């Protein structure tokens, strides 16, 4: 049975913003209303400073803790306040908790997280702490795992994650994304840059060709899966043309490939900026149900 990680403080006040943080709470509420039992949900603790320092510099951490924007924090394009930093550190702790639960039970999903644009020394693109990298680094430092893979299916390339792990042979980074848009691309171990207007068929052809090869070739002991609702056809920040059904096929295929190989998988919801917020919510909920039903 999959575990879900959620905390009420995931819903920090970031003002008027294309990132609608209430989606985290609404995803939780939809899952509970749909019959997922309370026993499947776990609250995370905030990531500690020692854990954050496994991926970020002490100067950047100090800037985040200060509550005053600097050249290191401004590229987040988010406000900086104690409430927001609590959400950020809780989300990082949530992905770490999801990874621990995945090792224990096979599958777990953080109902936040996926802040893959954060670099070691600065924020970028709505991302302060790279929770994907933090979870892997902490578990490796503890000796819980020795090999991991990041499967990033967000609309945008996981540029921060690529930089963090660029010299680490034991972590395989994969990103499938729209090539023509933000961010400036950094080199992952495998990047699949999709053309504008790519739809379900082309997307799934790439997923089905590469995911089994990655899992068989790298043999990870943990997969961090960045789901991402933003490849959706009516997302505000991109022009891919995936349907909700196509995104569910993606989730089902990736999780099935992990299950077939007995590889634990921890997920994050990632981006989602549909013109109708209910579409983003639908996609996040169906990702959660893919974990529950896998």
The arithmetic mean of pLDDT across residues 234-262, rounded, is 99
Mean pLDDT of 70-80: 96
- In CATH, what is the architecture of 3-293? 3-Layer(aba) Sandwich (3.40)
User: Does residue 183 have a cis peptide bond before it, meaning omega lies within 30 degrees of 0?
Assistant: yes
- Can you tell me the distance from the alpha carbon of 286 to that of 274, in angstroms, rounded to the nearest whole number? 15
- Please enumerate in sequence order all residues whose Cβ is within 8 A of that of 128, keeping only pairs 6 or more positions apart, or say none: 64, 73, 76, 78, 85, 88, 115, 118
| Contact yes or no for 287/251 (Cβ under 8 A) | yes
Condensed to tens digits (0 to 9), the pLDDT of residues 100-128 reads: 999 999 999 999 999 999 999 999 999 99
Residue with the two structure tokens 């991302």: 127
Q: In a 3-state reduction of DSSP, which class is residue 164?
A: helix
**192, 228, 251 from 187: Cα distances, Å:** 11, 20, 24
The pTM score is: 0.97
CA 20 to chain centre: 16
* Interatomic CA distance for residues 31 and 38, integer angstroms: 10
Indicate if the pLDDT at residue 13 is higher than 90. no
Q: Are 27 and 289 in contact (CB under 8 A)?
A: no
Using an 8 Å Cβ cutoff, are 146 and 168 in contact?
no
Q: Give the per-residue pLDDT at 67.
A: 87
CB of 4 within 8 A of CB of 36? yes
Could you give the CA distance from residue 98 to residue 284 in angstroms, rounded to a whole number?
Answer: 16
CA distance linking residue 171 with residue 189, whole number of Å: 9
210: nearest Cα among 232, 195, 188: 188
In terms of Cβ atoms closer than 10 Å to its own Cβ (0-12, 13-18, 19+), residue 104 is exposed
- Mean pLDDT computed over 178-198: 98
Rg (CA), the chain: 17
Task: Report whether 136 contacts 150 (CB < 8 A).
Answer: yes
- The predicted pLDDT at position 173 comes to 99
Given a cut of 90, is residue 204 above it in pLDDT?
Answer: yes
> What's the mean pLDDT in 72-97?
97
Q: Per-residue confidence at 16, pLDDT binned at 50, 70, 90?
A: confident
What mean pLDDT, rounded, does the chain reach? 98
Tell me how far apart the alpha carbons of residues 170 and 30 are, in angstroms, rounded to a whole number.
37
Q: What is the dihedral of CA 81, 84, 89, 90, to 10 degrees?
A: 140
């Amino acid at each position: 049975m999959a575990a879900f990680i959620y905390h009420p403080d995931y819903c920090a006040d970031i003002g008027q913003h294309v990132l609608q943080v209430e989606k985290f709470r609404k995803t939780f509420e939809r899952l509970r209303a749909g019959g997922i039992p309370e026993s499947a949900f776990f609250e995370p603790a905030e990531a500690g400073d020692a854990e954050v320092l496994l991926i970020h510099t002490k100067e950047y951490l100090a800037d985040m803790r200060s509550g005053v924007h600097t050249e290191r924090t401004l590229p987040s394009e988010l406000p900086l306040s104690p409430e927001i930093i609590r959400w950020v550190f809780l989300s990082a702790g949530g992905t770490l908790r999801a990874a621990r639960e995945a090792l224990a039970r096979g599958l777990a999903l953080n109902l936040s997280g996926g802040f893959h644009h954060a670099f070691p020394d600065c924020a970028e693109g709505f991302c302060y702490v790279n929770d994907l990298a933090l979870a892997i680094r902490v578990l490796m430092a503890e000796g819980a795992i020795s090999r991991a893979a990041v499967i990033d299916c967000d609309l945008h390339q996981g540029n921060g994650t690529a930089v963090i792990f660029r010299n680490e042979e034991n972590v395989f980074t994969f990103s499938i994304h729209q090539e023509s848009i933000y961010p400036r691309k950094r080199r992952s171990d495998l990047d699949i840059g999709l053309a504008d207007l790519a739809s379900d068929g082309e997307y799934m052809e790439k997923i089905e060709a590469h995911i089994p090869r990655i899992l068989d070739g790298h043999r990870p002991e943990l997969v961090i899966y960045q789901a991402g609702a933003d490849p959706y056809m009516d997302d505000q920040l991109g022009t891919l043309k995936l349907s909700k059904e196509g995104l569910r096929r993606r989730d089902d295929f990736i999780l099935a490939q992990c299950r077939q190989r007995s590889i634990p998988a921890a997920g994050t919801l990632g981006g989602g900026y549909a013109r109708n917020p209910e579409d983003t919510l639908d996609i996040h909920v169906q990702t959660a149900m893919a974990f529950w039903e896998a």
